[in-house]
Chain A
């Protein structure tokens, strides 16, 4: 059974650009959450999607957005990139919203220069 797949694994972008990250959850999982990990702030919750609807949102500016498709795959978009957006972005999937165990992908390393 395939795990959570995130693409791309690495990205280098310039300030002001926008970026889209993709997450394919484990087959059968309907809930997808996104997290940002930085050395200073640790792991911080961005948002959660379930059945194509955003159910919860963390304390991030509106430049961070996401969506979920009917096949449960999810994308997150960051517009007008800032240097501080450099981070490891992690996606987690679970069977259903609030369902017990979360499984994480390998992450996308975004570097903004």
Chain B
């Protein structure tokens, strides 16, 4: 059974700091991994999608890496800003035969001005 874990559960950093959020999964047989952002009481915003054949994806100040063999992904946020404060979720899709995403519990990030 696939399980997704995100550590830490919460993180507080000063503005301008570079930071790394971690995501681990127990079964390396994944189709893709997606990182999302969720603001309080809102839906999920897709940040980055990494296919199983890819090692990393970049969008602006965000960089996500994937190491299937070790069951790990990281989301790197450069030069953090107060507007980055949110909960970050990673989710894995097991195969192309399903749209089912298995989510971690998320990391709640607070960036202090």
Contacts and interface: CB of A to CB of B under 8 A. Distances in A.
Contacts of B45: 104
Interface of A: 4, 6, 31, 33, 35, 42-43, 45, 48, 50, 55-56, 58, 88, 90, 92, 94, 97-107, 109
Given A33-B100, A48-B100, A101 B46 contact: yes
B32 A56 contact: no
Main secondary structure of the interface of A (DSSP, over half): strand
B44 interface: yes
A85 to B, nearest CB: 18
A93 to B, nearest CB: 9
A3 B35 CA distance: 18
B101 A92 contact: yes
Nearest 8 pairs between A and B by C-beta?
Answer: A98-B96, A104-B44, A43-B103, A106-B43, A104-B43, A48-B99, A45-B100, A42-B105
A96 to B, nearest CB: 9
